[in-house]
Amino acid sequence: MVFAEFKARERCKDLMCSWILFNLDKSISRSVMFLRTTREIWIDLEERYGYTSLAQIYALEQKLAKISQENQYVSEFFTKIKLVWDAIDEAHPLPYCTCNNCTCNLTKKIFERHQQKMVIQFMMKLSDKFGTIRGNMLTMSTLPKVTEAYKMFAQEEKHREIS
């Protein structure tokens, strides 16, 4: 029975390695094809490609700075800016509290500040026709989450289309 389990495990390991190698670019695949386990392959690939340079973050922040709504619908514009936000978050993740039994709520505070920043960026880059709703939102004691802000501006856009 032990031999059968060993063979099944080996077959599974070989299958996973083959799947990873098949899905990699050929030149990259050749550079890891003699590693024995999926873990070895993953560690090797992560050491080579699992980093973000400041140049990448700079380019993403520059792209974010240049984005504006222009003549796009709010939904199109939100999708465009959200893609850049997500790329920035992936390349430069927010710090989070790692202490056990945390009482400082640092992670929550950082996330809320990040949400506020995104709402402000979103509103800044919308066209001037949303000036009234933008002003109303800025008088709130706390800004809504970015998805809620998006819904409010999208509703306003629909309302204007109907009117």
- Kindly list the averaged pLDDT for each block of 10 residues, start to end, along the chain of length 163: 81 88 91 90 89 90 96 96 95 83 82 96 96 94 95 95 88
Give the residue among 87, 106, 90 at the shortest CA–CA distance from 98: 106
Question: Which of 139, 153, 159 lies closest to 81, judged by CA?
Answer: 153
Residue 123's nearest CA partner among 113, 138, 110 is 138
How many residues appear in the chain?
163
Task: Give the whole-angstrom CA distance, residue 10 versus residue 4.
Answer: 10
pLDDT for the residue 111: 92
Query: Count of alpha carbons within 13 Å of 52, Cβ hemisphere only?
Result: 13
- pLDDT at position 1 is 59
Domain boundaries, the chain: 2-49, 54-162
> How far apart (Å, rounded) are the C-alpha atoms in residues 113 and 50?
27
- Picking from 62, 59, 52, 54, the residue whose alpha carbon sits closest to that of residue 90 is 52
Neighbours of 69 (CB within 10 A): 20
Maximum CA pair distance of the chain? 75
Q: Which of 77, 59, 56, 57 is nearest to 124 (CA)?
A: 77
Tokens standing for residue 109: 């505070």
Has this prediction a pTM greater than 0.75?
no
C-alpha pair distances (Å), 115 with each of 27, 42, 52, 111: 40, 33, 23, 6
